[in-house]
Structure formats: structure tokens, C-alpha cells
Amino acid sequence: MDRSEILLSFLKDYRDHYLPSVSLDLVIFGFHEGQMKVLLIRFKGSQDWLLPGGRVRKDEDLNEAAYRSLRERTGLEKLFLQQFQTFGKVDRLTHFSWEETLTKMGLKEPLESLGVDIASFWSRDISVGYYALVEYTKVNPTPDIMSDECQWWDIDQVPQLLFDHNDMIRLALKTLRRQLSYQPIGYNLLPEEFTMSELQSLYETILGRKLDRRNFYKQIMNYDVLERLEKRPTIPASKAPYLYRFKKERYEQLLNEEDLSVG
Amino acid sequence: MDRSEILLSFLKDYRDHYLPSVSLDLVIFGFHEGQMKVLLIRFKGSQDWLLPGGRVRKDEDLNEAAYRSLRERTGLEKLFLQQFQTFGKVDRLTHFSWEETLTKMGLKEPLESLGVDIASFWSRDISVGYYALVEYTKVNPTPDIMSDECQWWDIDQVPQLLFDHNDMIRLALKTLRRQLSYQPIGYNLLPEEFTMSELQSLYETILGRKLDRRNFYKQIMNYDVLERLEKRPTIPASKAPYLYRFKKERYEQLLNEEDLSVG
DNA sequence: CCAAAAGTGTTAAAGCTACACCCATGT
DNA sequence: ACATGGGTGTAGCTTTAACACTTTTGG
């Protein structure tokens, strides 16, 4: 199969098996060395970056599509994933053209000659925004068919992105920070067992500010969501800290109390 | 034009001018005599109730579509309207059939004979949920083309609804209550000028619990969003209360601080 | 003069913030 | 011994909750 045939079958697959008019975008947050990162892709044959996204199969739940897309970009399963807003401005994809995109993807002949009338199944997209929290070191960033590169960016060095994607990141971060105040977070971001300062550092990174060690300890223990273990790993030049782990049932309970999302 | 022709043009209009796969549902809250109400419609030729909804024109912003749908059901403009969640389970419309629905709407011949292949432009819908707050007495409930009746229901007497619409109401109410704690609400729900107890009663209705009169007064005045007028209407058998009104600029400011929705 | 609603201030409890001292370990 | 990171408690402050008496008005 030459490149155009592959594209043709890709387009037909889209038309036949995916919902038209609906897409989704992922704001994937990671944490590394005290820095908050976000995963971006570089658009095929271009210097422009944007958020990874996906589409919804006709036989697939919306949330499931988001999990699948996340898996495809990161190689990870069962992550913290949360819908935060649906974007639907008419002009949100200004400058996007299928024709041009397909050319960059390797289309040689004009589109009509392939016998696919794109306008008939694509007008414009409503996009459902999700944000995810992932463990940076476990991620294997993988470009999709429409991108050349997939990599982490420091959250405060994200360039001007295509479309409305800078807005999406801003709103995702804001929603995440608010959510942090009434939900426990960390289950999929930390190893099974972790120290209090690892957890605190995660919170500090998300919130973008320092927290008082003692107050943090009291608050988090008040949630009754952590279990302290007897193990105390030795750490160079310091007292051996306790390890903690999440009480699974309590953690789930807190999540569910605050979220009757039906995706 | 006979009924079938009207339906045909309705369907063709949907196919040609509206986004496929995307719909929206409205949880319209009203307040009357200390009761919280929600506006429901009765499905064509059926005893089943559900939320009013709408679709998005190809040339229309998502939020604009929601405003338009709200206007069509209530006759009101410029209302408080807020997106709260997008619903996308594959089976969320169980038992819904276009064929059946169109028959109830007056279709006489089988669908194929109309020359419209519904399956080609409709598979299933993702639905964007919005909630609205409206002034009960100003609303003129108007059924849409797919419903026989449109009327208010007490929030705690809502029957089993079609689809996932009971979930939607629950989640809308929960989101609204949370929002109340960091945003002023009332601008489109109360007359231009109102008394403190009217405002308090609105809050109590939304929250579903009584508030302390003195504490409420202090908190609301701390927002610095109300302006006290000199007028004091006389009320039967009681001391004349002050009238208040919202400071428009401050009210808008508080709304915008907390909402960078890009809909 | 009595019932009904409205105006207002004080006190207690809870939650959050700030802050300091001691302990274990490796160099 | 000392530098580094970890464990823990207390005091002040701010925010929220509880609560009661007085005023006006119509009947």
C-alpha cells in the first residue's frame, strides 16, 4: 500500500467507525523534579505544537475513548482522568484544513480523486476536554498519526499552541487546583508506597506554591486516607522517614462522594 | 404540506444544518413559593417525561446553541446558563428509536419511502449538559416539536425520566450548589430590586436548607456585591425592609474571576 | 397590645497559619 | 560535630456557627 492508500483507509475508518463532530483533547500532566509538565505533540510537517486528542468510536463510551486515547499517547492504563469542559466555538479550529493536513501526512493526489468527500462527514468539531495526571517516569510518549513528535514540556514554558489549546491548559489547571481542595489526589501519580514529603511535593507542584510541612501533615491525616507503614527506608544524610500508602477503599469513597460523573 | 412532508423537511434541516452526534440537554431551574422547580417536557405520544434539549447548528457556537434552546423553551433571554458535564455513554439513549419517534410525530409512511436514510447521519449522541436559573413567573413554557407538553415540576417530585436525565438533574444541582459557595447568584432570578429575605430564601431553596439570617447578611455584604437603597416597601404586619440591588460591575467581575469558560 | 417580620452585635467553636525544637543519619 | 531531612505540638488568627433582643407595622 502506498501512503495515499493508507490515508484513504484511515479516512474511511474515521467516517465509518467514529462519531462525526465530536473530538476530545487531553491535558496530560506529569511531575518530575519539582516541575509540572504537560505532554504536547508537534503537528505533522509543522513547527506548531498542540494537545494530543482523540475521537470517539461509534460503539464506545465517551470516557472510554478518553482512556483509550490517553493509553495510546502514554502507554499507561488506569489513570486519573477527569473531564473538565466541552469546547464548541465555531472558530476554535481556525487555520485547520483537512486538505492541507492530509498533504502533510503524505497525500499525493488531490482529495477528490480518492473518492472521499470530507465535507460530507466533517464540518467542525465540538471537543470534550479531559485532564489526566500521570507518573512522568512511566510514560512512553508516542506521536499519533497526525504528529511528528510527542514530548513533555514544562508547564510554564508551553509555547503558543494551535487552536484554543492554551485556554484548555489554563482551565484544566484551574479545575485541577480546585479539585485538589476537596479530593485526594496521588493514587496514580506516586509509587504504591511513598513518603510524606513526596506527597507534599506533588501537592506543591500542582498548586504552584510551597506548603507548610506540619500543616500539610495534619490536614492530610485528617482525611483519614493514608495508612502509615512500619517500613522506614534509609535516606542519605537524614532521618529515616515513614512510608505511607493510600487506603484504597477510603480513597475511592472520597472520589465518589464528590463525583457522580456519568461520562 | 401534509404532516409527513413537514417531518421530511425537519429531518433534512437537521441533516443539513446541525452537527451530527452532538446534542445538548437543559436543566432549567426555577423558584416559586419556596420550592425549587425544574422544567420538563413530555415526550410526543407518551407518558414519559424528560429534560428539554437542543442541537447545535453548524454555524453556531455551542454556548449559543444552549442559549437559543433555552430561549425556545422559556421565551427568555440573557439567562444564567452554565455547562456542567458532557454525557457520552453508548447506551444513554436506550429505548430511543427515530422510527418510532417519527411515527408518534405523525409520520405515515415508512421512513425509507421519504428518501432519508437516518442511519447515515445519526448514530448516537454525545450530550452536553447545561443548567440554567430562571425567574419562574416570567417563563412561558413551550413544548418543542418532539414533545406534547412543557411544564414545571417540583424538584423533589420529579418522576423517573427517560434516558440518563435523572442523573443529569442530580449532577446539575450538585454543581450549582458548589458554585454557590464561590459565586454570587441571583441576578436573573430576582427582580431588579429585592429584599434581603428574598435573596436569602433563594439561597435556601438552592441549598435545600435553612440559613441563619444574621450570618447570611454578613456574608453577602462581605462580597461587596449588593447596594442598599433607601426605599423601604411596606409589608403587611411587619417592619419595612430595605431594598437591595446588585452592583452590576462587581457582580460581573466576581463571575468572571471564577469562570474562564470558552464554550 | 400582640403577632410577624426585620434590623443588628457578641461570643464560642472550628479551622487555618505561623512557627521551633528535637531526632536520626551520613559525611 | 554538623548538615540534612524528618517527626511532632502549640499559640494566634481568621472564619464560621450559634444565638437574643429591639423595632416597626397591621390587625
Question: Angle CA(B96)–CA(B101)–CA(B103) in degrees, nearest 5?
Answer: 145
Q: Residue B263: which of A59, A62, A89 has the nearest Cβ?
A: A89
Among A32-36, A255-259, B164-168, B190-194, the least confident range? A255-259
Q: Is pLDDT at B199 greater than 90 in this prediction?
A: yes
Using an 8 Å CB-CB cutoff, list chain A residues near B128.
86, 88, 126
Mean pLDDT over A17-27 rounds to 95
Per the CB < 8 A criterion, the answer to whether B54 and B68 are in contact is yes
Q: Which residue has the higher pLDDT, A259 or B194?
A: B194
Single out the residue in B145, B180, B215 at which a domain terminates.
B180
Whether A263 is in a domain gets the answer no
Mean pLDDT over B3-11 rounds to 84
Same domain assignment for residues A43 and A137: yes
Same domain assignment for residues B127 and B206: no
Same domain assignment for residues B64 and B176: yes
Q: Is pLDDT at B260 greater than 50 in this prediction?
A: no
Among A197-206, B49-58, B93-102, the least confident range? B93-102
DSSP labels, A238-254: SPPPPPEEE-HHHHHHH
Query: Which residue is closest to C22 in terms of CA–C1' distance?
Result: A239
Whether B262 is in a domain gets the answer no
Same domain assignment for residues B15 and B123: yes
CB of A177 within 7 Å of some strand C atom: no
Single out the residue in A180, A205, A237 at which a domain terminates.
A180
pLDDT at A68: 97
Per the CB < 8 A criterion, the answer to whether B28 and B52 are in contact is yes
Burial class of residue A65 (count of CB atoms within 10 Å of its CB; 0-12, 13-18, 19+): buried
Which CATH number covers residue B231?
Answer: 1.10.10.10
Single out the residue in A180, A212, A238 at which a domain terminates.
A180
Nearest residue in chain A measured CA to CA from B91: A61
Same domain assignment for residues B104 and B158: yes
pLDDT at A260: 47
Q: Is pLDDT at A193 greater than 90 in this prediction?
A: yes
Q: Is pLDDT at B196 greater than 90 in this prediction?
A: yes
Could you give the CA distance from residue B185 to residue B223 in angstroms, rounded to a whole number?
A: 12
Footprint of strand D on the protein (CB under 7 A): A 195-197, 213-215, 217-218, 235, 237-242; B 212-215, 219, 234, 236-240
Q: Is pLDDT at A170 greater than 80 in this prediction?
A: yes
Per the CB < 8 A criterion, the answer to whether A19 and A122 are in contact is no
Counting Cα atoms < 13 Å in the Cβ hemisphere of A46 gives 19
Give the A-side interface with B, CB within 8 Å.
19-22, 56, 58-63, 65, 83, 85-90, 92, 123-124, 126, 128, 164, 167-168, 170-171, 174, 260-263
Cβ contact B123–A19 (<8 Å) = yes
Same domain assignment for residues B47 and B92: yes
Could you give the CA distance from residue A25 to residue A31 in angstroms, rounded to a whole number?
A: 20
pLDDT at B32: 83
Query: Which residue is closest to D9 in terms of CA–C1' distance?
Result: A214
pLDDT at B198: 93
Strands B53-57, B18-32: pairing kind: antiparallel
Mean pLDDT over A195-220 rounds to 93
Indicate the pLDDT class of residue B71, thresholds 50, 70 and 90. Answer: very high
Query: Could you give the percent of chain B with pLDDT greater than 90?
Result: 58
Q: Is pLDDT at B205 greater than 80 in this prediction?
A: yes
Whether B185 is in a domain gets the answer no
- Pick the residue of B15, B23, B86 with the most A CBs within 10 A to test the interface with A by mutation: B86
Q: Which nucleotide is nearest to B196 (CA to C1')?
A: C6
Domain of A241 in residue numbering reads as 196-257
For residue A171, which amino acid is it? L
Indicate the pLDDT class of residue A204, thresholds 50, 70 and 90. Answer: very high
Torsion of CA B156, B162, B164, B168, to 10 degrees: -40
Q: Which nucleotide is nearest to A222 (CA to C1')?
A: C15
Q: Is pLDDT at B261 greater than 70 in this prediction?
A: no
Mean pLDDT over B32-55 rounds to 92
* Contacts of range B242-248, beta carbons closer than 8 Å, 24 or more positions apart: B242/B195, B242/B196, B243/B193, B243/B194, B243/B195, B244/B193, B244/B194, B244/B195, B244/B196, B244/B199, B245/B192, B245/B193, B245/B194, B246/B184, B246/B186, B246/B187
Q: Residue A88: which of B20, B89, B263 has the nearest Cβ?
A: B263
Return the residue matching grid coordinates 482512556: A67
Distance in Å, residue A193 CA to nucleotide D8 C1': 22
C-alpha cell recorded at residue A175 = 479545575
Q: Residue A59: which of B56, B90, B128 has the nearest Cβ?
A: B90
Indicate the pLDDT class of residue A126, thresholds 50, 70 and 90. Answer: very high
Mean pLDDT over A95-103 rounds to 79
Q: Which of B210, B147, B177, B159 lies closest to B29 in space, CA to CA?
A: B177
Q: Is pLDDT at B121 greater than 70 in this prediction?
A: no
Q: Which residue has the higher pLDDT, B96 or A184?
A: A184
Could you give the CA distance from residue A20 to residue B121 in angstroms, rounded to a whole number?
A: 9
Whether A8 is in a domain gets the answer yes
Same domain assignment for residues A204 and A165: no
Q: Is pLDDT at B259 greater than 70 in this prediction?
A: no
Same domain assignment for residues A7 and A64: yes
CB of B230 within 7 Å of some strand C atom: no
Q: What is the mean pLDDT of chain A?
A: 89
Cβ contact B19–A19 (<8 Å) = no
Which CATH number covers residue A138?
Answer: 3.90.79.10
Could you give the CA distance from residue A255 to residue A187 in angstroms, rounded to a whole number?
A: 11
Same domain assignment for residues A34 and A120: yes
Q: Where are the alpha helices (DSSP H) in chain A?
A: 3-17, 62-74, 98-104, 118-121, 165-180, 196-207, 213-222, 248-257
Whether B190 is in a domain gets the answer no
pLDDT in tens, B154-188: 999 999 999 999 999 999 999 999 888 888 888 88
pLDDT in tens, A227-263: 999 878 888 888 999 999 999 999 988 887 765 455 5
Cβ contact A61–B85 (<8 Å) = no
Q: Is pLDDT at B64 greater than 90 in this prediction?
A: yes
Among A16-20, A149-153, B253-257, the least confident range? B253-257
Using an 8 Å CB-CB cutoff, list chain A residues near B21.
19-22
Whether A29 is in a domain gets the answer yes
Mean pLDDT over B104-133 rounds to 82
Same domain assignment for residues B72 and B15: yes
Among B10-14, B21-25, B151-155, the least confident range? B10-14
Indicate the pLDDT class of residue B263, thresholds 50, 70 and 90. Answer: low
pLDDT at A191: 87
Using an 8 Å CB-CB cutoff, list chain A residues near B62.
86-89, 126
Burial class of residue B56 (count of CB atoms within 10 Å of its CB; 0-12, 13-18, 19+): buried
How many domains in chain B? 2
pLDDT at A162: 93
Indicate the pLDDT class of residue B256, thresholds 50, 70 and 90. Answer: confident
Same domain assignment for residues A210 and A159: no
Indicate the pLDDT class of residue A179, thresholds 50, 70 and 90. Answer: confident
Q: What is the mean pLDDT of chain B?
A: 89
